Structure 1
Amino acid sequence: MINTPDIKIGIVGVSRDCFPRELTQRRMKQVVEECRRLKLPIEPCSVVIETEKDSMAAAKEMVKKGVDAVAVYLGNFGPEGPLTIFAEKLGKPFMLCAAAEESKDTLVEGRGDAYCGMLNASLNCGLRNLRPYIPAVPVGSPSQVAHMILGFLSIARVVVGIKNLKAFTFGPRPQDFYACNAPIKPLYNLGIEVMENSELDMLMLFKSVAGRTKEIKAIAKDMAAELGAGNKYPAKLVELAQFELALMTFFENNLGSRQFGVFANKCWPAFEQGFGFVPCYVNSRLTGRGIPVACEVDIYGAVSEYMCQLASVSPVTLLDINNTVPADLPIDDLCGVERRDLFMGFHCGNTPSCCLCEGCGMKYQLIMHRLMESGKKPNITCGTLEGTLRPGPTTIFRLQGTADCRLCSYVAEGAIMDADPASFGGIGIFGIKEMARFYRHIMLEKQFPHHSAVAFEHVGRILFDATRLLGVEDVSTPRTRGNLYPGENPFGV
């Protein structure tokens, strides 16, 4: 996908001077061989870190090799000071991992004590205010360590993407839509740059590309091919294509100091009167290519979408946690959840076509049509992409800046049901175990807004670890029955 970092991982072996350096060298060579069997883009460092001087040399080599993240490998006990000096100097995401002992026959001359060394390495990271990624079981065989590094690759992709991200906004938010407020300080704390623009800027941008008719026609042709039989309003394609060209031109010209970008754009109510359409279909196309576009100027929604994209390396969407599922709506397979834990995720029409079932199409926004064109044929409210969400595994995720400028987050895994939601928009039925309690004691209790980013696979592990690695301490997940949330009434369960 475009707008997504390709991650190159370095690996640096460390050795304490009272242990044989050769032990780390031999063990790291085996790890590198296992990484290459997994086709990991691994760059071994020729320097084994024993001293502070080695730390500087290793950092210099890793920078020269262009690594984006690094695995610090304790082949034996390891030198806690030099290894953290290296991590501090390098300034990139890093993980700590270590070698397990190989055999009862090597526990005298060949024992490495890396299990012990990990404790001191972790402690020294704290002394230097460094935050390493430490796997759930960080000490293992060469094959096990290689799989740890494989897992770290996805986590590093999220972190690197976020720290090189720019959020473009065209606002302000719709009236009485405080839910999409976006304190900027927490975004800066994450390393995200923000470029705020007005809806008038967007209109001027749209008009500025009107003369590029050849490009507009090519985009409109591509839209028609994508929609196929779902092209219900073909007369709208030229305007929508012009809008897509405007957004892409702005994106390419304004990344500035950053490599990646997302949009959080206003889409109602004045937009329709000014532009003559709704932007949902264009939003879906950009998101499908790798540039998430959040509705209603929801900056944290756009960032959340991007994190889901980085975790899954696949198109994602942003949906309202929208409505309950009527008891008489038939669902053949509840995927192991109770009906009380079902809900519908909905939005007007911003979900990429590849994330919808066959038969999706471009339609009009029903709610806006009632308000803006009541009794008339749809015109300015045309431009949604509507259909049923693709059934299968899913992850919902939200990163949010609170009113007092703290960062908090939630992540939950579940399934999108293979069932007809019998409604309009881009919509699907979600089932997440213990969602009813999670909704009450996390989403409501912690005052999360109504938008949630949605990935179309299970990426909870990656998002949880990446969010923590970014420094977010408050990451909520669903709790099993009997495991009460703070403040949950034990007499009311």
Structure 2
Amino acid sequence: MINIPKVKLGIVAVSRDCFPIELSKKRSNAVVEACKKEKIEIFQVDTIVENEKDCLKALKELKDANVNALVVYLGNFGPEGPETILAQKFQGPTMYAAASEEAADGLIDGRGDAYCGMLNASYNLALRKLNPYISEYPIGTPNEIAHMISHFHQVAAVILGISKLKIFSFGPRPQDFLACNAPIKPLYDLGIEIMENSELDLFEAFNNHKEDSRIKDVVKEMEKELGEGNAYPGILERLAQYEITLKDWMENNLGASEYAVFANKCWPAFQTQFGMVPCYVNSRLASLGIPAACETDIYGALSEYIITCATEIPATLLDINNSVPEDMFNDNIKSFKGYKLNELFMGFHCGNTPKSCMKNAAMKYQRIMHRQLEPGKEPDITRGTLEGAIRPGDITLFRLQSTAGAQLRSYVAEGEVIDVNPNSFGGIGIFAIKDMARFYRYVLIGKRYPHHAGVAFKHIGKVLFDAMKMLGIEDISFNQPENMLYKNENPFK
């Protein structure tokens, strides 16, 4: 997968000068060994930081080794000034953790007091307005610290990806989907670049690729990927032309950024002018790690990208779309494993989900657009969707969104896709999330979220929640159990 950062971890041990430096050396070595056993690659800085000069030496070692995510390890109490200057001067996400004591017979000359040292470190970090990753319980044995570092690796990927991301959008956000329209100022607050373009810019670039020699090769790739699902081979040339157009736009306009996503207007004028539905291309780009959100959903594209960085597998963007009929629920009651009917919903989109995330998939046409644009005719300009049942298994719903008042908020909810035929069209599946009805009412509706949700095809809630905290998002919602009332929830049931 391309377009996501490669995290290179580094670890710096710190030591307060009135404690034995050997304690930090020994304990840091043990953490690195534990990481090796867990197959976690990490660069160990030779310099043990006791003072500010040591801090500068350590920073040079980190820079020379191209480390982009730092673990500051308190092998003993640690010097609160130099150890927090490390995070202040280091250009990347930082984690803090501390050593637990090993044995009862080492509590005279071998006591490190790192439990206490983390308190001083946290206070000094706050003075510097720094927000590093600190585990729920950041004191541990070497094996426990290695586990924390593994988690931090995924969180760091999100932070690094966002810090070097550029969002390309084409066209105004649609009138009938104002929920997708949100202020872009918070993107700059996160360090994200955005390049908003007219649909005419995209149309011109598309037309300039009409005779592109690469089209034939891309068509062959598409034919191979679709296999027996290649129901409309006549549309592949237009789709290939569009895919090449977007890839070239990204390469030619990335500028100072390293990664990019797209948020493109996709209907209804798109079909009449471009002559196809772009969904299949969006699915292919998502498979590469380049989410391309439809309906000019800028924050939807960002949410997909955050998921992709966290999981290193493709994500998708779906409508939280329709309820599950009661007869379907009753006929498949064993498959729903104790879920209530109102904890189920269908996640749907026209055909943008990567083929690898689907149980079955085939090239089809967009039925809703066809009714409007080609009624009673054989599908032509409405061809281009990738449709089928979304594969069953674990999922996480996620979205980062700006309010109308330019405040960032987010939600995370883990669940699953049930292996029951949704008996409908599009890329679609039956989703199950505990306490979904209340989450739907008091988070999605209550906090005015749009209809699009980013979907991760694994349980990744902990990573996404911690990444949002590192980004400074204060409002992070989740599907609260019944004994935990939402704000403004009526307690009289």
Q: Same fold (TM over 0.5)?
A: yes
Query: What letter is aligned with 1:180?
Result: C
Deviation (angstroms), 1:36 = 1.4
Rounded to whole Å, the distance in 2 between the matches of 1:314 and 1:336 is 29
5 Å-filtered alignment, 1:55-454, equals 55-213=55-213, 215-329=214-328, 330-331=331-332, 332-358=334-360, 360-454=361-455
CA distance in 1, matches of 2:396, 2:121: 33
Task: Name the SS for the 2:326 alignment partner.
Answer: coil
How many residues are treated as equivalent by the alignment? 490
**For 1:388-447, what per-residue CA distance to the aligned partner results, in whole angstroms no more than 9, with x for missing partners?**
000000000000011111100000000001000111000000000001000001111110
**1:53: how far off?**
1.5
1:23 aligns with 2:56: no
Aligned-residue offset at 1:175: 2.5
Q: Identity of paired residues, percent? A: 57
Segments ≥4 residues shifted beyond 2 Å: none
Deviation at 1:136, TM superposition (A): 1.5
SS in 1 for 2:85: helix
Give the counterpart letter for 2:216 in structure 1: K
Q: Deviations over 1:166-185 (max 9, x none)?
A: 00001112232211113111
State the Cα deviation string for residues 61-114 of structure 1 (Å, max 9, x = none).
211111111010000011111111111011321111000000000001100010
Conserved in 2, the CA contact under 8 Å of 1:174 and 1:269? Answer: no
Residue type at the aligned position of 1:23 = L
Q: Supply the distance in 2 between the matched residues of 1:182 and 1:292 (Cα, whole angstroms).
A: 19
2:470 is the alignment partner of 1:457: no
CA distance in 2, matches of 1:112, 1:338: 52
Rounded Cα–Cα distance in structure 2 between residues aligned with 1:123 and 1:190: 24
Native 8 Å contact 1:335 1:415 kept in 2: no
Cα distance in 2 between the residues matched to 1:175 and 1:110: 67
Task: Determine the C-alpha separation between the residues in 2 that align with 1:415 and 1:80.
Answer: 44
Is 1:472 equivalent to 2:473 in the alignment?
A: yes
Distance 2:338 2:258 in 1: 41
Name the SS for the 1:328 alignment partner: helix
Cα distance, 1:336 vs. partner?
4.1
**TM-score, scaled to structure 2:** 0.98
What amino acid sits opposite 1:350 in the alignment? N
Contact kept? 2:402, 2:409, Cα under 8 Å = yes
Give secondary structure in 2 for the equivalent of 1:319.
strand
Secondary structure in 1 matching 2:321: strand
Letter in 1 for 2:42: I
Change (3 A) 1:461 1:336: farther
CA distance in 2, matches of 1:339, 1:33: 49
- Write the letter of the residue equivalent to 2:121: A
Q: How far did residue 43 of structure 1 move?
A: 0.7
Residues 161, 260 of structure 1: 8 Å contact kept: yes
CA contact 2:206–2:245 (8 Å) conserved in 1: yes
| Root-mean-square deviation (Å) | 0.9
TM-score (norm 1): 0.98
Is 1:50 aligned with 2:50? yes
Give 1:362 deviation, angstroms: 0.7
| Counterparts of 1:335 and 1:240, CA distance in 2 | 41
- The equivalent of 1:40 in structure 2 is 40
Distance 1:157 1:336 in 2: 36
The one-letter code sitting in structure 1 at the alignment partner of 2:336 is L
Query: What are the Cα deviations for residues 242-273 of structure 1, in whole angstroms up to 9, with x where unaligned?
Result: 11111111111111111111000010010001
8 A Cα contact 2:68 2:91, kept in partner: no
Indicate the SS of the match to 1:84.
helix
- CA separation in 1, counterparts of 2:87 and 2:310? 24
Comparing 363-372 with 333-342, greater Cα deviation is found at: 333-342
Mapped contact 1:263–1:294 kept (Cα < 8 A): yes
CA contact (8 A) 1:27 1:142 kept: yes
Query: Residues of 2 paired with 1:182 and 1:194: CA distance?
Result: 13
Amino acid paired to 2:243:
E
Any gaps of 5 or more consecutive residues in structure 1? none
SS in 1 for 2:136: coil
* 8 Å CA contact 1:49, 1:82 repeated in 2: yes
Change (3 A) 1:33 1:446: same
Q: Distance in 2 between matches of 1:313 and 1:235?
A: 33
Which residue identity does 1:81 align to in structure 2? G
* Distance in 2 (alpha carbons) for counterparts of 1:119 and 1:44: 24
